Structure 1
Amino acid sequence: MVYDIYSWDNRLIVERINLAMERISQIKSEKDIRFGDFFLKLSRFLEQVNDLRIKRDTGEFEKQSFEELNISQNELFYDLKEENYNESVYNPDVLEKLCDKEFMSPLLSLSFEVRAALITVFEGDLEGFVNILELFLQVYGICLEGGDAKEVSEAIYWYASDYLDITARKKIIESFTTSNRFFYNIIMNDDLSDLRYLFKFGEYIGENEIKTAKYLNSLDMETVRLCAKTFVDGYRDGFVAMQKDISKRSIVSLIYRIGFERIVKEAVILFEDMGFEVVLDRKPYRLADMSHIRNRGICSGGVNRQFEYDHKYDMNIFTKKAYLDRKFEISKQTFEEIKENMARYGGPALMDAFGDTEFLPVKKTAANAFVEKQNNLMNNYRNEMMLLQDEYIDTSGTAFCIIAWPLPSIAKEPEVYLNIFDDIIRINTLDAGKYKEAQQKIIDALDKADTVRVIGGKDNKTDLTIKLHELKEPSKETNFENCVADVNIPVGEVFTSPVLVGTNGTLFVKDVFLAGYHLKNLCITVKNGMIEDYICENFETRDDNRRMVEDSILKGHKSLPMGEFSIGTNVVAYNVAKKYDIFEKMPILIAEKMGPHFAFGDTCYSHDEESVSYNPDGKAIIARDNECSIKRKTDIKSAYFNCHTDITIPLVELGDIYTNEPDGTNTYIIKDGRFVLEGSEILNE
């Protein structure tokens, strides 16, 4: 079924656009404008966006060369580019000098929402475009007439609230149906060897996107299909491994980083051959759709991560209970409207990318922020939305798949990037059979233990004791999942959900890349399975370092449980990281296979605890709950945290991992960073 998300008459919309643009075009000739520099910059941007709309309508856009499109893009993103941002009105530090303090918060929110006009035009959402134009003029009028900051804030609040029927409904429908074919049509119908297609997405296209697309065009079709097939087979095999009936599912959401379209196109073909409809959904770009924690969807690397960081809390202006209650009710109505599609939803397929240049965010006092009440409201809303979604998507029948590919920025020399990409293909296509047998030996030893101890090597302060669940029938039950290359590519880990009480100690990692941030000398103290203290050493001040950990791991919570303990077995991946000295740039998906890792947040089986899954040896995996998740039986709102962040200790930093069995026996799995358990030595090759 196709759901109508653009039901309005475009002729009437264009008339409104023309009227709004006529007024906006007059701003540059007006004098003594209150906060003039701010409104002049935003009005100029909106004029550029409208010029682009006209070029697209007349066909002129399609006729432009790659160089012309790139120049046009750089003009549209001029104020956000890193080299210009220190003088930009979108920068809180600059805006603070241009307007009265009480106007800072609403004008920051307005500036971010105005940027969304660009994507509305690319996607043909003219209603969204004109709504942004009219909001801008409304706020401009309030300031022109001497209105106060409260009036501006109320205008933005009611704009967001009044259009929730459109924005909230549209976002949900586009997440679970194929109603919006914007990305699909470009990927499947355009000539991907003509890189002009990149500029049709509306996202900022930088060197990574251009060089990635160029590189993929240089690969033979067999290699491209291998990359796509590994990804799609992993998704299909996830259903088999978890003993779920794939025939009952026929919708998959495919999320990827712009530039990888050649692989994505082959993946779409393979999914469709399996009988799946492929949803290609953009990362949220309107404030009404955004989360301060995570915004997942198709996107580029962006123009400036500091700009995104500065504006991550701009939705604070309408983060109120009445607004969130209304959004929840609209979401519920929309879920009911598309319940047939949601019943067929099989889960996400994520094609991740890694190798971005290091980014250290600067916290600006002038930027928007949540007060504690708003943070609690948003956490509760996210939790309630997840539970509502579970009513319409039976997660006991869903799977997922995730794979990662490197970006050109991972290496300074182009030929090194090509070599890294080749090695990542090799890692992602390793023989799972060899690992399955060695990992089973490790699981057999771990299943005899009451606790496991992990100790860091030289200069690593890790000393953790992990409490394991009791196996009532060891011949039929196991604590650890034998993870081969199905949902979680590449192959190479055994993992469990620990018991919290009795899990204690210190986790230390010298370098780790989390949520887009490079954390140095990360140290987390765990008491009875919960984070008790934390710090890193990226900044000079303790507060800044703790904020870094809060942004990348705690996700708005004061503490989180250890939801997973795993031993990574992929020494090939470790050696590739060592060969190119890219340990800190490896994505967690691969890094977690390169040594022991610990995830904070929900368990490995969040929202799917009641399902039963089995290892290849036929044993049921029983470690699916901990003391937090089990609360779902009595108080489901306090059971989940809706986050799960993995932190790996690379083998180079590791000392020992050994079991503590009830009779006092210790069995070493790893000693001095090498696998020593009989039957697992092959992993050292």
Structure 2
Amino acid sequence: MTQSEWNREWQSERNAQCEERHALSLERIRRIAVEESVTDPFRDYFQKTAVFLLEIESVRQKVASGEWETLSLEEMWEINRRLYSDILPECYGGSYANPEYAVRVLGESYGQILSFLYAELRGGIACAYEARLDYLTILQELFIEIYNCFEEEIPEYKTLKEIVYWYASDYCDVFLADRIEEQLYPELSFAARIIMESDLTDLRYLYRFGEYITDNEIRTAKHLASLPEETLRKMADVYTEGYRIGFVNTGKDLSKKSVVNIRYCLGFERVVRLAVKNFEKMGLKPVIYRAASSVITKKEQIKIGYYGAIANKQYEYDHRSDQALFLDKRYVERKLDVLKNVYEKNKEQAAQFAGPAVMEIFGEQPFSPEVKEEAFSYSGAQQELVRLYDSKSGQLVNRYIKGEERSFTIVAYPVPEIGERYREIFDDVIRINTLDAGLYERVQQTIIDALDRGVYVRVKGKGANQTDLKIQLHELNDPEKETIFENCVADVNIPVGEVFTSPVLSGTEGILHVSRVYLNELQYIDLKLTFADGKITDYTCANFEKEEENRKYIYDNVLHNHETLPLGEFAIGTNTTAYVTGKKYQIEDKMPILIAEKTGPHFAVGDTCYSWSEDIKVYNPNGKEIIARDNEISLLRKEDPAKAYFQCHTDITIPYEELEEISVVTKNGEQIILLEDGRFVLPGTEVLNEPLDQLN
């Protein structure tokens, strides 16, 4: 039985169990769409939502009957547009998916919860394409249950809240359990069948995923189709070879694994198909799961998995904390219990998981969200519960998918939205991703040799940049055999170009400032973090007029609801070619952190780069062991892992032009200058300035 046949049979059995329920709920929704038993202003909400659910059902029937395959590209485009139209920026102001509009029309309490409901129901779009009759039935029944509460009189808010709570709690062992198994079993990869079996010359295949499709995805697919096979293979080889080398360089045994998780954005299927074949030669089968959309399985607005265009980033941001509607200790315990039971049931398969291979995109317009009072937000007690869940779930997953046995790789490519010179930029990014690793290895070793002599590093900003940081370094016991910094070439983090370490926290202090930076798809203006003993003590930015909004923005999205975070990594980026490319096309603000972190010094707040695998010895190409794998906080794992890890790692880069100096200070007080006025001045590193000379 083939993978796709197994998947279809598995889903068919589950659908057969709920066909009668689905038919009954569908019949009820058809009546809701036209009946007027609910009073204003709620009638319009329920009728429009019912019509939307019927639109999803229409798509499901087309897919199930095979009619979908007979549709033209234009017809598929029209259906796709209808499914996503009301959350697009131009329509969002009058959409019930917008909590601000919903509250204005339906009232504060009801508007919030009904906006949440509509957002949750939108997850049914993917279910229609995946033939998930069981999931669609669950969502339809939730809608009907809440609708019934409004038929005779307006219900109490707590009644609706209880319905949502029990929906999340009862179906946690369906949605969350399925989500985990999708991450472990290649047979369940809906997307893999499309990628490997579709005619990629027929762009209709893009609409089979059930994601929002725009000009970005279509033009990306067309561009890849225009490239020589040799170029596509080079892209795939860099991606998969980086993954393999990541295991080699860390001394991990890839032969013990059989599953690789491929994460990418739609449009790159030609490269992904080649990558799948490369991974198969390594003995790995792909799991390619969709980025979650349900409140039960998603993590804020962060997309983990494959996805298409993001129809509206403000919509995603507005609903990032919808879990606050019902989150309590009992629900957290319920999720953790499901997590544990499912992993225990599938522990042998979990042990086969090798880690993610990620292909990111960049080039979209920078996004700075509007913070809405009408959107759900966590209380102080709920923030503590979120931290508790993140910590315990991280520990639990590491028990079954051991950090010391898994690895990853990440590479990034631009999308057409980046501008008119997209093709040129794409070609230059391929060049950046395939730079001479041997050259960088040699130059970076020169930098490391100087850093290994140091007690601390001093980083100072230039002009308006207020950075003034002292980064304390680990002490070497045997400099002949040990080193502080890792010589990072093109393996897990593509492209080549950085040396990094886990700083000593005690004595690390000062201000980190950057004029503009893009972190996890969110833009920050004049981001400023203050450190004492390696931990954040103060923070601000200039995104909003009100200081409390700036602080909350950072607290939510950089600190991830922690009162403080340590400096988990300090690095010096050496990829001046990438830096000049950004300048050449004026796309610096659109460069992904994966590339941007190689274009200046960068600082990561949160966990170290070695989290969950600190006890594995790691060596540089020259044979020296990298001993700076821990800091004072990560060492707490030996007493209590909950105190050692934060489940986050956010890189913040200062561009070369904002640098006055990077220097290392030795035990005897000697100052060795590495960079001065944005240029490398350490003897042996002058070659890195050659791309910079092009700017002049």
| TM-score, normalised via structure 1 length | 0.97
Q: Is the 8 A contact 1:53 1:122 kept in 2?
A: yes
Q: Could you tell me how far 1:32 is from its partner in structure 2?
A: 5.0
Distance 1:192 1:657 in 2: 49
Query: What pairs with 1:9-408 in structure 2 (closer than 5 Å)?
Result: 9-31=14-36, 33-34=38-39, 35-146=42-153, 147-292=155-300, 294-408=302-416
Per the alignment, do residues 53 and 569 of structure 1 end up closer, same or farther by CA in structure 2, a change over 3 Å counting? same
Report Cα offsets for 1:1-38 as digits up to 9, x if no partner. Answer: 98996474534523222211111111232225231121
Q: Could you tell me how far 1:210 is from its partner in structure 2?
A: 1.4
Report Cα offsets for 1:370-389 as digits up to 9, x if no partner. Answer: 11111111111111011011
Distance 1:586 1:15 in 2: 51
Partner of 1:42, secondary structure, is helix
Q: Could you tell me how far 1:682 is from its partner in structure 2?
A: 1.5
- 1:577 is aligned to 582
The amino acid of 1:482's aligned partner reads N
Moved more, 631-640 or 290-299: 290-299
Q: Could you tell me how far 1:547 is from its partner in structure 2?
A: 2.9
Partner of 2:536, secondary structure, is strand
Distance 1:133 1:672 in 2: 61
Distance 1:307 1:294 in 2: 12
User: In the alignment, does 2:641 pair up with 1:632?
Assistant: no
Partner of 1:176, secondary structure, is coil
User: In the alignment, does 2:612 pair up with 1:607?
Assistant: yes
- Within the candidate set 556, 560, 572, 1:555 is matched to 560
The amino acid of 1:634's aligned partner reads E
Q: Is the 8 A contact 2:301 2:319 kept in 1?
A: no
Q: Is the 8 A contact 1:316 1:370 kept in 2?
A: yes
Q: Is the 8 A contact 1:108 1:368 kept in 2?
A: no
The amino acid of 1:136's aligned partner reads F
Report Cα offsets for 1:26-67 as digits up to 9, x if no partner. Answer: 123222523112111110100101111111122221111111
Partner of 2:558, secondary structure, is helix
Distance 2:578 2:610 in 1: 25
Distance 1:275 1:546 in 2: 47
Q: Could you tell me how far 1:482 is from its partner in structure 2?
A: 0.3
Report Cα offsets for 1:308-335 as digits up to 9, x if no partner. Answer: 1111111223311111212211111111
Structure 2: gaps spanning 5 or more residues: 691-696
Q: Could you tell me how far 1:576 is from its partner in structure 2?
A: 0.5
Q: Is the 8 A contact 2:368 2:524 kept in 1?
A: no
What CA RMSD, in Å, does the superposition of the two structures yield over aligned residues?
1.5
The amino acid of 2:149's aligned partner reads I
Moved more, 24-33 or 552-561: 24-33
Per the alignment, do residues 120 and 544 of structure 1 end up closer, same or farther by CA in structure 2, a change over 3 Å counting? same
Q: Is the 8 A contact 1:109 1:315 kept in 2?
A: no
Distance 1:16 1:564 in 2: 53
The amino acid of 1:400's aligned partner reads F
Distance 1:659 1:280 in 2: 44
Partner of 2:115, secondary structure, is helix
Q: Could you tell me how far 1:295 is from its partner in structure 2?
A: 4.1
- Within the candidate set 514, 532, 541, 2:537 is matched to 532
Q: Could you tell me how far 1:109 is from its partner in structure 2?
A: 2.2
Per the alignment, do residues 523 and 596 of structure 1 end up closer, same or farther by CA in structure 2, a change over 3 Å counting? same
When the two structures are aligned, how many residues end up with a matched partner?
Answer: 682
Distance 2:479 2:76 in 1: 64
| TM-score, normalised via structure 2 length | 0.96
Distance 1:480 1:9 in 2: 52
Distance 1:446 1:541 in 2: 41
The amino acid of 2:234's aligned partner reads L
Q: Could you tell me how far 1:215 is from its partner in structure 2?
A: 1.0
Q: Is the 8 A contact 2:599 2:656 kept in 1?
A: yes
Per the alignment, do residues 627 and 293 of structure 1 end up closer, same or farther by CA in structure 2, a change over 3 Å counting? farther
- 1:479 is aligned to 484
Distance 2:346 2:386 in 1: 25
Distance 1:148 1:527 in 2: 49
Q: Is the 8 A contact 2:301 2:317 kept in 1?
A: no
- 1:420 is aligned to 425
Q: Could you tell me how far 1:294 is from its partner in structure 2?
A: 3.7
Report Cα offsets for 1:474-495 as digits up to 9, x if no partner. Answer: 1111110000011110001000
Distance 1:185 1:434 in 2: 40
Moved more, 288-297 or 662-671: 288-297
Distance 2:88 2:654 in 1: 35
- % identical equivalent positions: 46
- 2:693 is aligned to none
The amino acid of 1:138's aligned partner reads E
Partner of 2:620, secondary structure, is coil
Distance 2:233 2:66 in 1: 34
Q: Could you tell me how far 1:624 is from its partner in structure 2?
A: 0.8
Partner of 2:168, secondary structure, is helix
The amino acid of 1:42's aligned partner reads T
Partner of 1:575, secondary structure, is helix
Distance 1:480 1:293 in 2: 33
Distance 1:321 1:544 in 2: 28
The amino acid of 2:109's aligned partner reads E
Q: Could you tell me how far 1:293 is from its partner in structure 2?
A: 6.6
Structure 1: gaps spanning 5 or more residues: none
- 1:456 is aligned to 461
- Within the candidate set 524, 528, 531, 1:523 is matched to 528
Per the alignment, do residues 502 and 608 of structure 1 end up closer, same or farther by CA in structure 2, a change over 3 Å counting? same
- Within the candidate set 621, 627, 634, 1:622 is matched to 627
Q: Is the 8 A contact 1:5 1:170 kept in 2?
A: no
- 2:443 is aligned to 438
Q: Is the 8 A contact 1:105 1:314 kept in 2?
A: no
Report Cα offsets for 1:356-401 as digits up to 9, x if no partner. Answer: 1122211111111111111111111111011011111222122110
Q: Could you tell me how far 1:100 is from its partner in structure 2?
A: 3.5
The amino acid of 1:14's aligned partner reads E
Q: Is the 8 A contact 1:38 1:98 kept in 2?
A: no
Moved more, 103-112 or 150-159: 103-112
Distance 2:14 2:540 in 1: 55
Q: Could you tell me how far 1:673 is from its partner in structure 2?
A: 1.1
Partner of 1:624, secondary structure, is coil
Moved more, 81-90 or 99-108: 99-108
Per the alignment, do residues 458 and 68 of structure 1 end up closer, same or farther by CA in structure 2, a change over 3 Å counting? same
Partner of 1:469, secondary structure, is coil
- 1:564 is aligned to 569
- 2:660 is aligned to 655
Distance 2:607 2:238 in 1: 28
Q: Could you tell me how far 1:113 is from its partner in structure 2?
A: 1.2
Partner of 1:26, secondary structure, is helix
Distance 2:300 2:630 in 1: 27
Distance 2:530 2:379 in 1: 26
Per the alignment, do residues 28 and 346 of structure 1 end up closer, same or farther by CA in structure 2, a change over 3 Å counting? closer
Per the alignment, do residues 151 and 137 of structure 1 end up closer, same or farther by CA in structure 2, a change over 3 Å counting? same
Moved more, 400-409 or 156-165: 156-165
Report Cα offsets for 1:612-655 as digits up to 9, x if no partner. Answer: 00001111111111111111111221111110000111111111
| Runs of 4+ in structure 1 over 6 Å off | 1-5
Q: Is the 8 A contact 2:466 2:512 kept in 1?
A: yes
